[in-house]
Amino acid sequence: MRRVAITGIGVISPLGNSAEAAFEAARGGHSGVRLMDAPFTPRLVAPIAAIAEFDGAGHFDPLKLRMMDRVSQFAVVAAKQALADAHTEWAQLDRSRVGVFVGTGMGGTLSNDDGYKTLYAEGSDRIKPFTVLAGMHNAPAAWIGLELGLIGPNLTYSTACSSSAVAIGEAWLRVASGALDLAVTGGSEAPLSFGSMKAWEALHTVANVDADAPATSCKPFSKNRSGMVLGEGSAMLVLEAWDSAVARGAVIQGELLGYGLTTDADHLTRPSVAGQAAAMSAALQSAGLEATAIEAINAHGTGTLANDAVETAAIKAVFGVRAYQVPISATKAMHGHLLGAAGALECALSLIAMQHHVLLPTLHLRSPDPECDLDYVPNTARSQVPVRVMLSNSFAFGGTNAVLVLGAGHKP
């Protein structure tokens, strides 16, 4: 297996529309969570979300915009950012050996929701002609391939909230094995439609709105946590063989060292300590590392009662008493839960944090939960903390657990 370098990062998110902007906002403890201002807002129980300030009209012509859901717009722009960041040498690339691996949990839900509204609420017998093309789950990956002329494998993964971590892990396997020279990989999600938000409310997983400070509504690992806040956006990475990256003088943003993938096969929505612990252990085995090598963890940390307690117990199961010495960051309080894109965004933020020797904060953690008693880097980022190897956890409804092992790169 070849070493795999991460040479480019692109981000569209509620914290900013570049990787560095999103990182600086996260380091400063800023939140992209806010009250929504949409026609359907009065009908929501919890009218809050983490919204990306993004206008596709600045990136695509009107015809493409008619064909592209917001989820695909995010993905293409983030992918182009990542490739520009990697300073990809297109003239020297065999584009049949460049793959696209994208995760999304809900695909083009805005386009599908709009079609249902036209049919059922408005009573029309005609919907937009590009509804299928905009709404299909593989549209983000397909558009990346179209826009960049990439004719290698083009794959979409939909494993709910672990989708993009799975996509990154599967891309790593292809590059590490020598099957591909380069991969564009990550995730994209745009779930802030009326139908989607009502569906998530029906599951009772959405946070109660903090009336005095809506931006603080998501409180991972806190005793008074009440759920997650939906977010939107995309994060994309460029993976390439380490030797090739070094030979062309690329700035190495980080290294993907390992990947663990397990399935709970226990319950559709209830997380499993055994399943999550098995994924972390599998990731370590894949990387050829012992648990003692891990110096920090990016937690899945959704802010739900069940997830945070189970993830804490799973970390203890893998790390034993050392779990209390490993700092853990949960950033969803700032950027919301991007569902299928969450793993990619958190991976991107973690990589940049490692470059800057920063541990990102877990915001709004002021009421400790006795069940969640580890070091979650509460409320304020920590500086001057070198981290060479960390885990990034992504767990999902359906029981698909994906864990990435990240190695430090070189600060630009």
Q: Give the catalytic positions in this structure.
A: 161, 300, 337
Count other C-beta atoms under 10 Å from residue 62's C-beta.
7
The DSSP line for 290-339 is: -GGG--EEE----S-HHHHHHHHHHHHHHHGGGGGGS-EE--HHHH-B-G
Residue 393's H or E segment, with its range, is strand 389-394
What the block records as the tokens of 361 is 């904060």
Q: How far is CA 86 from CA 6, 166, 223, 251, in A?
A: 8, 22, 42, 7
Give the dihedral sign, CA 156/159/160/163. negative
Q: What is the three-class DSSP state of 232?
A: coil
Q: What is the three-class DSSP state of 167?
A: helix
The whole-angstrom separation of Cα 331 and Cα 326 is 16
Amino acid at 163: S
| Torsions phi, psi for 104 (to 5 deg) | -150, 135
The whole-angstrom separation of Cα 89 and Cα 83 is 9
What the block records as the tokens of 86 is 């990697």
| Torsions phi, psi for 384 (to 5 deg) | 55, 45
The whole-angstrom separation of Cα 348 and Cα 167 is 14
Per DSSP (E only), the strands in 62-146 are: 98-103
